[in-house]
Chain A
């Protein structure tokens, strides 16, 4: 009995073992490619969110009264940071990973070296996470220059961006392990990412929604990211934030085996 249990535990922990130096080599490969295109990559990462902020904050904000003591621009800014970071990770580990895996056969090339497929997957997730961290940090920097980030708690934002990156890289990578064709990512963005974007308290406080929808929002990872980012940027920090943090950490840990399992099933016959 005990031997069986320890065997099961062994199997489970095996999914976390690819977080190792081999996975870092895959991350390193992606960073070398990133170095070639970072300028355009960052520019697009920043321009779009700032357009949103301008339209919503300056435009829509004129019609909206202050929310919980914040101007509408201030309310919406952390949400914009969270969503752009989410998009950055999700796009990286869906379209871009799919191209590397399916068209360029880079995964195949790497698994012929000492690195195994599970480590390739983890390396890709780390790169997706890097994208979230980078994109979110750049935007929050710009937003604070605009004077929208009054609190020093905001220095903890990168931690939240890393969790955000791990969440959405994994969700996207699960999809990459499943879809037969690159076109199928349209469903992923329409059915998963866009609702996340609209109903995670990015644009309006959830208490305007019926109670049942408010509770459903708890199931959306982006909601927790938005709450954390908003609280940190305006400095309204309480012990409640730990729940949101824990929610994200648990979510990351629980789905962690999935991208590896699916990619293995897809490529290794």
Chain B
């Protein structure tokens, strides 16, 4: 498969502060490439460099075979962009938004109208064609913004947090559309802080935090590699956590503590040994076994909850450290 985006030691500084601190990656054509990370991880800066908005501070960034510093116009002609903040033209109707935007690419009026109607149909917006943009719902605005990004049939569609702020139903609808676009062979580059979104859509992803890549790979591989297939969540009195971790140390592959909850990584997909030990420990209030997910990977890598990005009281480690785990709580 051919690589459509190639970054080497890519860096971006704002007044000396590194937003992207020297990263390397490559995106293959036809896949959905996810950039996952909490707010402030550098995701938006990264994609804005790809669509030639932010100049690169240092390193190399090749998009569709061209260097972003040399020929942004040629690159931008072949990219579609769905920015984080809706920036639809509020002074135009739904249909006009698409037609005027097509004009920026030099597409003729009649061709633009044909494509616009097709896209409105695809995104279920035909009935709203002549409405003012301000009158349609948030989910529809998002779909219209995606439609706008497709008006010139780009080779890559860049989506910066496409479903942030939408209700679950609108979110699912957008996922459905993105899956259909992927099936048609469009390359998608997607930033998100929703783990479900990343695991639903992405073939390949990088996990970013504070401007660097922590991990990369296919979502399933990442989960398997970092935490294994299953996680046992255990709720117990926080004063007893240290003792508890000591008790289970030999039968689990790793752990995370967040407040009163301990996440135990089950080795070899077999939780029976872990459960047996949990049942012998009197202070356990509640527990459950569940399939592991990207949230576990993220929590393990960054020690932070992903959705809100706040620092929760936590601790993690390998079991060699348990004996000296005074700092845990």
Give A contacts to B, CB under 8 Å. Answer: 25, 28-29, 32-33, 36, 104-106, 108-116, 268-269
Residues of chain B contacted by A111 (CB below 8 angstroms):
53
Assess whether B14 is interfacial by the CB under 8 Å rule: yes
Q: Which 4 A-B pairs have CB atoms at the shortest separation, nearest pair first?
A: A105-B87, A113-B104, A112-B81, A109-B87
- Which of chain B's residues has its CB closest to A113's CB? B104
Question: Within the complex, which residue of A109, A112, A114 is in contact with B89, where a contact is CB–CB below 8 Å?
Answer: A109
- What count of chain B residues pass the 8 Å CB interface test? 27
The residue from B53, B90, B103 contacting A112, defined by CB atoms under 8 A apart: B53
B253 at the interface (CB under 8 A from A): no
Give Cα A105–Cα B77 distance, bound, in whole angstroms: 20
Question: Inside 8 A of A36's CB, which chain B residues have their CB?
Answer: 91
Set A32, A104, A110, A269: member contacting B90, Cβ < 8 A: A104
Contact A33 B104 (CB under 8 A): no
Alpha-carbon gap, A116 to B106, bound state (A): 14
A-B contact pairs, 18 of them (CB 8 A): A29-B103, A29-B104, A32-B96, A104-B91, A105-B85, A105-B87, A106-B89, A108-B53, A108-B85, A108-B87, A110-B104, A112-B53, A112-B83, A113-B76, A114-B105, A268-B54, A268-B55, A269-B14
Which chain B positions have C-beta within 8 A of A105? 83, 85, 87
Given the interface pairs A108-B87, A112-B53, A268-B54, the reply to whether A25 lies near B72 with Cβ below 8 Å is no
Q: Are A113 and B87 in contact (CB under 8 A)?
A: no
Residues of A within 8 A of B92 (CB): 32-33
Which residues on the A side are within 8 Å of B88 (C-beta)? Answer: 109
Q: Does B263 contact A (CB under 8 A)?
A: no
B73 at the interface (CB under 8 A from A): yes
Interface SS majority for chain A: helix
Closest to B86 in A: A105
Contact A108 B83 (CB under 8 A): yes
Cβ distance A96 to chain B, nearest Cβ, rounded Å: 10
Which of A25, A29, A268 has the largest number of chain B CB atoms within 10 A?
Answer: A29
B195 within 8 A of A: no
In whole angstroms, what is the CA distance A188 to B261 when docked? 59
A36 to B90, CA, bound (A): 13
Q: Establish whether residues A113 and B105, one from each chain, have CB atoms under 8 Å apart when the complex forms.
A: yes
With A32-B96, A268-B54 already in contact, the answer to whether A116 and B73 are too (CB < 8 A) is: yes
Residues of A within 8 A of B85 (CB): 105, 108
Q: Is B299 interfacial (CB-CB < 8 Å)?
A: no
CB-CB under 8 A from A29, the residues of chain B are 89, 100, 103-104
In the complex, what's the smallest C-beta–C-beta distance from A228 to chain B, in angstroms?
A: 34
A139 to chain B, nearest CB (A): 25
Other than the given A29-B104, A108-B83, 11 more pairs (CB < 8 A) read A28-B100, A29-B100, A32-B96, A36-B91, A105-B85, A108-B87, A112-B79, A114-B77, A114-B105, A115-B104, A269-B54
- CB of B35 to closest CB in A, whole Å: 17
Nearest chain A CB to B151 CB, angstrom units:
9
* Closest chain A residue to B90, Cβ basis: A104
Chain B residues with CB under 8 Å of A109's CB are 83, 87-89, 101
A104 engages B54 (CB within 8 Å): no
